[in-house]
């Protein structure tokens, strides 16, 4: 992958130059594109249509092949709400699309969205030369799990079809409960080139955030107005992304992360370190594990780590064992008695046996190799979904959900991926690479 372009919004950081793998602070006030990009200095999301004459001119000046569909503009703006009470915070995401239909059908356009994003408003219009605008809320949407992160979904957006040679413009507004702590997206579409891409990330001035992209030649912006810092990347003339998802980790991707905030002096830590990123996993996995024994005696007296792993692996699985979410474990004695253990349950069962055998272990969360790799210097919330155990005295991972795996081996989907070893006591969380060894 190419060098990352990173943009930080951090009140105390010094001025730095722009360019590949650079960081820009809100004090630098380095506005490269001078607000010709629409609402680049606004504190509000862009919710109004563009001037039709301007959009028709952009279509007439289209530089890439004039066949099929082209996305003239793909603008995404995330607006972060960081109120002290997360239950009262509502962040938002606004996506502004302008597509030109040169020939053939108008394909559905796939967007990456945070899984908790709910569409609250859609505005669409068809722009036909020398004809009135047709306005309506006719954009249909279907969702499926993404190939980016466990916390991201892919939304397939079907826009109204304009006549050939005409345009369709859509503004899609989403709300997200709480703070927009992280987002990731492919920079483009599999079935259409993009003429102009603008990814904007609006933060309160008391918050710190980073926007990072692997897109070569992306031009960063940072500016401030009305108590908010806006950081962005801008790019032009993007070719369609590979259709095969297995090839997409090599394609450009962008991610933005809210690091922390201190509204009214109330500190909120979202992603300043891997340990802060790990806090939901600590609460949902490590802190719950011992209670899942329900006070029963251990079901097997293990003689060591290998024996404990083999006994757990031999327990029958429920039919959907690999599909159970990481934070939905069962009470272990009941699951053992009814042969309804999931992959998540087996991790907790192995931890139970290791505790009784006095074998040191740490909880860990795995990330499949097929997902885009995470940068060690950019902690990301919500990026892991497979509970594992790490044995620090041996330096090995244990994956009890994989029947064929020995100590140090993990299931095929995780091999070559990454794992976050959860913090405990004075030990900080650690991002590690999982071995590619096969049994």
Residues 375 and 298 in one domain: yes
> What is the pTM for the complete model shown?
0.86
Q: Which of 270, 304, 330 is the last residue of a domain?
A: 270
Residues 286 and 216 in one domain: no
Residues 239 and 365 in one domain: no
Residue 438 lies in a domain: no
What percentage of residues in the chain have a pLDDT greater than 70?
A: 89
Residues 282 and 264 in one domain: no
Which CATH number does the domain housing residue 406 bear? 3.10.620
The boundaries of the domain holding residue 128 are: 5-270
Instruction: Provide the H-helix boundaries in 18-134.
Output: 52-60
Residue 136 lies in a domain: yes
Residue 134 lies in a domain: yes
Residues 198 and 121 in one domain: yes
pLDDT of residue 183: 93
Q: Which of 270, 294, 325 is the last residue of a domain?
A: 270
Residue 406 lies in a domain: yes
Average pLDDT of the chain, as a whole number: 87
How far apart, in whole angstroms, are the C-alpha atoms of residue 231 and residue 351? 44
Residues 132 and 33 in one domain: yes
Q: How far is CA 78 from the centre of its chain?
A: 13
Q: Are 113 and 149 in contact (CB under 8 A)?
A: no
pLDDT of residue 12: 32
Cα angle 294, 392, 150; round to 5: 65
Q: Are 118 and 141 in contact (CB under 8 A)?
A: no
Residues 190 and 256 in one domain: yes
Residue 439 lies in a domain: no
Residues 32 and 99 in one domain: yes
To which H or E segment does residue 168 belong? strand 167-177
Residues 105 and 40 in one domain: yes
Residues 92 and 219 in one domain: yes
Residues 283 and 143 in one domain: no
Residue 162 lies in a domain: yes
Total number of domains constituting the chain: 2
Q: Which of 204, 235, 270 is the last residue of a domain?
A: 270
Which CATH number does the domain housing residue 48 bear? 2.60.40.3140
Q: Residue 10 above 50 pLDDT? A: no
Residues 293 and 357 in one domain: yes
Q: Mean pLDDT throughout 80-107?
A: 93
Cα angle 92, 96, 100; round to 5: 160
Three-class secondary structure assignment of 187-239: CCCCCCCEEEEEEEEEEECCEEEEEEECCCCCEEEEEEECCEEEEEEEEEEEC
CA nearest to 180, candidates 252, 253, 261, 110: 261
Q: What is the pLDDT of residues 131-179, one digit of tens each?
A: 777 777 788 999 998 888 999 999 999 999 999 999 999 999 999 999 9
Q: What is the pLDDT of residues 331-388, one digit of tens each?
A: 999 999 999 999 999 999 999 999 999 999 999 999 999 898 999 999 999 999 999 9
């Amino acid at each position: 992958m190419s060098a990352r372009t990173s943009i930080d919004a951090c009140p105390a950081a010094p001025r730095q130059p722009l360019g590949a793998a650079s960081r820009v602070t809100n004090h630098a006030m380095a506005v490269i594109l001078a607000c010709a990009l629409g609402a680049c200095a606004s504190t509000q999301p862009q919710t109004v249509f563009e001037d039709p004459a301007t959009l028709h001119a952009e279509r007439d000046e289209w530089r890439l092949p004039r066949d099929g569909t082209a996305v003239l503009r793909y603008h995404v703006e995330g607006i972060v709400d960081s109120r002290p009470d997360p239950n009262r915070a509502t962040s938002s995401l606004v996506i502004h699309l302008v597509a030109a239909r040169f020939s053939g059908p108008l394909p559905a356009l796939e967007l990456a969205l945070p899984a908790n994003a709910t569409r609250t408003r859609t505005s669409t219009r068809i722009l036909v030369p020398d004809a009135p605008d047709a306005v309506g809320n006719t954009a249909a949407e279907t969702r499926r799990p993404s190939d980016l992160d466990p916390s991201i979904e892919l939304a397939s957006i079907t826009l109204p079809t304009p006549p050939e040679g005409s345009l369709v413009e859509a503004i899609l507004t989403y709300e997200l409960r709480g703070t927009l702590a992280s987002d990731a997206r492919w920079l483009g579409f599999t079935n259409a080139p993009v003429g102009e891409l603008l990814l904007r990330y609006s933060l309160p001035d008391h918050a710190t955030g980073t926007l990072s992209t692997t897109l070569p030649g992306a031009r960063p912006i940072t500016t401030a107005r009305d108590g908010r810092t806006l950081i962005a990347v801008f790019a032009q003339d993007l070719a369609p992304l590979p259709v095969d998802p297995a090839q997409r980790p090599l394609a450009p991707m962008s991610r933005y992360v809210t690091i922390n905030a201190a509204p009214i002096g109330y500190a909120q830590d979202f992603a300043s370190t891997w340990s802060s990123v790990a806090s939901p996993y600590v609460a949902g996995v490590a802190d719950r594990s011992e209670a899942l024994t329900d006070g029963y005696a251990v079901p097997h007296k293990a003689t060591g780590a290998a024996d404990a792993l083999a006994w757990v692996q031999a327990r029958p699985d429920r039919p959907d064992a690999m599909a159970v979410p990481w934070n939905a474990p069962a009470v272990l004695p009941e699951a053992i008695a009814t042969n309804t253990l999931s992959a998540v349950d087996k991790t907790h069962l192995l931890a139970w046996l290791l505790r009784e055998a006095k074998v040191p272990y740490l909880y860990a969360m795995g990330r499949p190799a097929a997902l885009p790799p995470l940068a060690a210097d950019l902690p990301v919330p919500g990026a892991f979904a497979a509970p594992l155990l790490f044995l620090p005295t041996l330096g090995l991972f244990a994956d009890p959900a994989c029947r064929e795996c020995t100590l140090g081996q993990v299931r095929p989907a995780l091999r070559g991926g990454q794992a976050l070893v959860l913090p405990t006591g004075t030990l900080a969380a650690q991002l590690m690479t999982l071995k590619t060894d096969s049994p």
